[in-house]
Amino acid sequence: MIVKPYGDTLNDGFVQISFTLPLPLDEKAKAAALQVALQMECVDPQIVHAETIGENFSFFVIYCKAKAAVSLDSLKVIEKPSHRLSQAEIETHLKNHFDRDLVVIGASTGTDAHTVGIDAIMNMKGYDGHFGLERYAGIRALNLGSQIPNETLIQTAREEKADVILVSQTVTQKDVHLKNLIELVELLEIEKLRNQILLIVGGARITHSLAKELGYDAGFGPGTYAEDVATFIVQNLKVDK
């Protein structure tokens, strides 16, 4: 099966792209933006929005037709379990299969100061009507907050005998987040803890495939709730009974 982007009609190939150029907003900047789109092999690009976003910087939104078409049969992806258990189902599973509370340590690590994502998954109030792991019977959730060094996270995980480490990582310049995520895996291996802990990462541009490539057990992106993470946890931890 071949699929193409959808804009106005099925398989018309229309896409919307946006980017910033280090130029003041004038006619030459607009011409440069159109050339960028053409070099990206966009057909008949049109600037639908342009604005100044700072001294000598211009932001553009371009509507155009892409040449790209994808054969679904040629794609190989790593899938996570698609069925999300409810909080009640997760709590029942925990009660029936574990003799203790599972310990989940969460943090935004390295220089990452963003806590919205980790708070939504960990904190009792959760997000969008979905309660966080702190509210789950059978789970002891410890949210360490932001800018936590990997060494501190590992030390806490060892002291608390963590079953799961949940890392939130916002994408940063020059792929600092990737270096930090890889370092965490390497440190866990040095401490001989990697095979003892379920390691999960989440973030705006994190995918399950990327997480597996970096050495994690799972990756979660936008639209993730505590139930998604807890479902993966209960389905992948070795049970006690």
How far apart CA 162 and CA 154 sit, in angstroms, is 9
Let me know: does 229 contact 194? Beta carbons within 8 Å. Answer: no
Q: Tell me whether residue 241 is one of the annotated catalytic residues.
A: no
How far apart CA 123 and CA 134 sit, in angstroms, is 6
CA atoms in the 13 A half-sphere facing the CB of 232: 25
Distances (CA, A) of 21 to 170, 173, 175, 177: 23, 17, 20, 24
Contacts of 113 (CB under 8 A, 6+ apart): 146, 147
**Active-site position among 95, 125, 161, 179:** 125
β partners of residue 146: none
Active site residues: 125
